[in-house]
Structure 1
Amino acid sequence: MDGFRLPVGLWAETGVRWMRDNLDGLLGAVSTAMGWLVRSLTDVLVGSPIVVVVLVAVLLAWLLRSWRFAIATGIGFALVLAMGVWVSALQTLALVIVATVIAVAIAVPLGILAARSDRASAIVRPILDLMQAMPAFVYLIPAIVFFSIGVVPGLVATIIFSLPPGVRLTELGIRGVDAETVEAGYAFGARPGQILRGVQLPLAMPTIMAGVNQVIMLALSMAVIAGIAGAPGLGQDIVQAMSTVDIATGVEAGIGVVVIAVFLDRLTGALGAARQHRSSLLGLLARRRETAASARGLAQAA
């Protein structure tokens, strides 16, 4: 047994290289599409006047949360601008937004499938466990093999790393919808698709939004690590600061990451709270309708 070694790593390397050699056209299309998305959004953000970007962020903070958060957002963005990391911060923001949109577009349908099928849930759960337990740096290795150095491997690694909480919380939210409410929908003749769109998704939305919040936070943390793969932004600034032991640059880039993280976290939290309030109102109205219908039924029986 001393000389026995299971070559799992070699098997994985063989599989990755086979995919690279046989799926070259698909990988090239994915690389082109993802690179275009990030570069286009980056160009829009960087090319927009600074006042416009700050004003939009402040208005979003004010409308979705409070005037205090709007003031804090303005101060935070002004600090990023004053430190000279404005362009890097917008590059990181573009990467996080694109990664979050793609991750959520994959995670929500998978979560719905897992919630509606125990077999699918049993298949998806160990895969998510593996994805969450795997160190973040490991995702960069096959991504670099597939897509070389640049923004695309960083984006792909970010999507994979941030995907699991979106799937888990979507499944949890849908499974947590009151069974009696679902049965009431079926009793009124609604089809499964109508139940999903009209009952389960609205009531599960607060939990789903919590999953989106976690996806954003993980995407932001991975976007910094993706700087090792050559993805531009604050992550690349931090990597360069580490290689040269540049404390000033590292601190400024780190503060930029904190400002973006707090801004995105509070916004998604506010959206989740609004959805929860709306779901509570919907539930209250539904209970009132049921009570009124029962009262009418008793009155007619009498």
Structure 2
Amino acid sequence: MDWIEFPSLSRGTLRDIRVTIDGTVDTFLGAYGEAIEHAFDPLKDFLIWLEDLLISSPWPIVLAVLLSIVFLMSRNYKIVAGSLFSLVLIGVFGMWEDTMRTIAMVTVCTMLAILLGIPLGILMSRSERVQGWINPILDLMQTMPSFVYLIPVVMIFGIGKVAGLIAIVVYAIPPTIRLTNLGIRLVDQDVLEAADAFGSSPWQKLVNVQLPLALPTIMAGINQTIMMALAMVVVAALIGVKGLGQPVLNAIANQYFFMGVQNGLAIVAIAIIFDRATQAYGKRLQKHSEVLHG
């Protein structure tokens, strides 16, 4: 039995569609591309400043600051000791500079994801209509292959830091948005009714009740955003983002086993440090939230 051929557009029609869309994009970028690029100059300058600060500062000072941040978040000496051991090994094996570049990139991406993601999550929690609009976009962002993000950002920003930063943020921001929305929606209605009984305005209820009680869930979202940003570091190296990703790509291209494993383990070590510190901080917030709720 012959199969019926699936109906599809002709090659000429498909070519016309592609030409039209590509021409529209080129026209848009020709008119607004430079303005869009300049709008991100402050972000680029901040990333360069942080990267230079981490690299040019004496390593004992940078190490002490990083360990202090880990301790303030976790209040756990075992996590601090593990972080110290990992960072010292990274330095001994000559990966300190690339690691600092990666930490700077992930830090800026996480800050940008927080600044954009938490307000969007709050907006979703306040409106079913907004949630209905944003959820499909988040689904698209989470299921789209990561390499696809590189195409539009390279067209707009070219090869370099800003293109990588935007691609990483787009890939990593959905957990922060989703879990901010979820955390606020899960706040106990009895608590909200008590706040209403005391005459709290919607803003006061959000700032003093909903956000504090939702913080553990929000921190879980931020944790996942950091992990996804680190996972995107190697892909972003394809468009010129310096850090631990570039040696991994170099190792793949030249079949250098030790170089690839070495830098891959450094990324894993940084991911574990971020993960343990943020998880411990989230658990502390959870205990504090339970005390407030009680």
Which residue of the partner structure matches residue 97 of structure 1? 107
| TM-aligned CA distance change 1:83 to 1:102, over 3 Å | same
Q: Give CA deviations for 1:48-68 in whole Å, capped at 9, x if unaligned.
A: 111112122223333432111
- Give the residue type in structure 1 aligned to 2:273: F
Computed over aligned residues only, the root mean square deviation of the Cα atoms, in angstroms, reads: 1.7
Which residue of the partner structure matches residue 78 of structure 2? 68
Q: Contact 1:16/1:142 (CA < 8 Å) preserved in 2?
A: no
Q: Pick from 141, 144, 163: which aligns with 1:134?
A: 144
Structure 1 unmatched ranges of 5 or more: 285-302
Q: For 2:226 and 2:285, locate their aligned partners in 1 and report how far apart those are by CA, in whole Å.
A: 18
| TM-aligned CA distance change 1:34 to 1:62, over 3 Å | closer
1:278 aligns with 2:285: no
How far 1:184 sits from its partner (Å)? 1.3
- Give the residue type in structure 1 aligned to 2:45: W
Q: Pick from 18, 36, 40: which aligns with 1:27?
A: 36
| TM-score, length basis structure 2 | 0.92
Q: Give CA deviations for 1:107-132 in whole Å, capped at 9, x if unaligned.
A: 10000000000000000000100110
| TM-score, length basis structure 1 | 0.89
Structure 2 unmatched ranges of 5 or more: 1-6
Which residue of the partner structure matches residue 45 of structure 1? 54
Alignment length, in residue pairs? 284
1:147 aligns with 2:150: no
Q: Contact 2:79/2:277 (CA < 8 Å) preserved in 1?
A: no
Which residue of the partner structure matches residue 124 of structure 2? 114
Q: For 1:11 and 1:125, locate their aligned partners in 2 and report how far apart those are by CA, in whole Å.
A: 29
| TM-aligned CA distance change 1:9 to 1:69, over 3 Å | farther
Q: Contact 2:236/2:245 (CA < 8 Å) preserved in 1?
A: yes
| TM-aligned CA distance change 1:249 to 1:189, over 3 Å | same
How far 1:223 sits from its partner (Å)? 1.8
Which residue of the partner structure matches residue 203 of structure 1? 213
Q: For 2:254 and 2:269, locate their aligned partners in 1 and report how far apart those are by CA, in whole Å.
A: 24
How far 1:11 sits from its partner (Å)? 6.2
Instruction: Give the secondary structure class of the aligned counterpart of 2:173.
Output: helix
Q: For 1:91 and 1:30, locate their aligned partners in 2 and report how far apart those are by CA, in whole Å.
A: 23
- Give the residue type in structure 2 aligned to 1:104: I
Q: Contact 1:31/1:147 (CA < 8 Å) preserved in 2?
A: no
Q: For 1:249 and 1:15, locate their aligned partners in 2 and report how far apart those are by CA, in whole Å.
A: 43
Q: Give the 5 Å matches for 1:208-223.
A: 208-223=218-233
- Give the residue type in structure 1 aligned to 2:271: A
How far 1:179 sits from its partner (Å)? 1.1
How far 1:250 sits from its partner (Å)? 1.0
| TM-aligned CA distance change 1:63 to 1:100, over 3 Å | closer
How far 1:26 sits from its partner (Å)? 2.7
1:251 aligns with 2:244: no
